[in-house]
């Protein structure tokens, strides 16, 4: 007797009557069909979902920062949700100083062909930190590091949270924050001095210098990590 579901190679069922993929047309700016995961989230995490809206066919939910890890974990693990792909982690800062800073996760359920944008709002002046989802999606590793590097958002629980695009000793702040000057906080000569002092060739040599050969030129904190066996992420 058919139960309306189609078995997969992994032994997990998919809806047997799922519509084939198609390109949506004439999508309204607001008020389109809500992602069905939102109703399930309201039932599972009552009170933790503060807002849900559909803009250009994409569903966005704003959630309590204290519950965001639990929510994303459930979206990943639940057989009826299966958000198995994290496509991005980023942040948004508005010019209006009354608006909070937003941390944003883009989740996709490949089996159910769903997209869900999850946001947490952080008040300015507060500690800019959220839980890391590295333990759920290993792809969050460099995504969270980039968000930390550019916006100063700390991801608690990340195994190696440090700068990714800027060098580790970069002292001018976070380049994508609205208060960051277009020319930087230091003079061009000071920026050049700091860049040369960082000696990037010690770590990124065209001649493929080994760590042993370059060890003495590495920053002290990286020397400490290498000596203790901590991962460097390089």
Would you say residue 2 has pLDDT above 50? no
Query: CB-based contacts of 54: which residues, under 8 Å, 6+ apart?
Result: 30, 31, 32, 33, 34, 35, 60
Alpha-carbon distance of 170 to 44, in angstroms, equals: 43
Using pLDDT thresholds of 50, 70 and 90, give the confidence band for residue 197. Answer: confident
pLDDT digits (tens, 9 = 90+) for 85-105: 999 999 999 999 899 999 999
Report all structural domains of the chain as residue ranges with CATH numbers, in order of start.
26-164 (3.30.460.80)
pLDDT of residue 213: 60
How large is the average pLDDT for residues 107-116?
96
pLDDT of residue 226: 73
pLDDT of residue 180: 78
59 against 11, higher pLDDT = 59
Q: Sort 166 into a burial class: Cβ within 10 Å, 0-12 / 13-18 / 19+.
A: middle
pLDDT of residue 212: 57
- Cβ of 104: how many Cβ atoms within 10 Å? 15
Would you say residue 119 has pLDDT above 80? yes
Average per-residue pLDDT for the chain: 83
Q: What is the pTM of this model?
A: 0.75
Using pLDDT thresholds of 50, 70 and 90, give the confidence band for residue 17. Answer: low
pLDDT of residue 9: 43
How large is the average pLDDT for residues 67-79?
98
Phi, psi torsion values for 121, nearest 5 degrees? -100, 130
Per the structure block, which two tokens stand in for 108?
A: 């996709």
């Amino acid at each position: 007797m058919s139960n309306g579901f189609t078995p997969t190679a992994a032994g997990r069922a998919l809806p047997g009557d799922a519509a084939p993929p198609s390109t949506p047309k004439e999508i309204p700016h607001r008020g389109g069909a809500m992602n069905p995961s939102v109703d399930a989230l309201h039932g599972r995490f009552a009170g933790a979902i503060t807002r849900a809206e559909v803009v250009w066919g994409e569903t966005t939910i704003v959630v309590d920062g204290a519950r965001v890890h639990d929510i994303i974990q459930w979206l990943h693990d639940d057989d009826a949700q299966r958000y198995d792909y994290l496509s991005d982690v980023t942040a948004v800062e508005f010019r209006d100083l009354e608006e909070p800073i937003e941390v944003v996760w883009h989740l996709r359920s490949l089996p159910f062909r769903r997209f869900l944008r999850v946001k947490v709002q952080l008040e300015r002046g507060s500690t800019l930190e959220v839980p890391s989802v590295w333990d759920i999606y290993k792809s969050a590793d460099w995504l969270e590091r980039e968000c930390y590097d550019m916006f100063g958002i700390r991801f608690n629980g990340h195994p190696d949270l440090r700068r990714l695009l800027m060098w580790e000793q970069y002292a001018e702040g976070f380049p994508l924050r609205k208060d960051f000057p277009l020319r930087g906080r230091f003079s061009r000569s000071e920026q050049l001095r700091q860049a040369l002092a960082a000696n990037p060739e010690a770590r990124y040599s065209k001649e493929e210098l080994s760590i042993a050969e370059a060890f003495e030129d590495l920053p002290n904190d990286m020397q400490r990590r290498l000596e203790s066996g901590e991962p460097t992420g390089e």
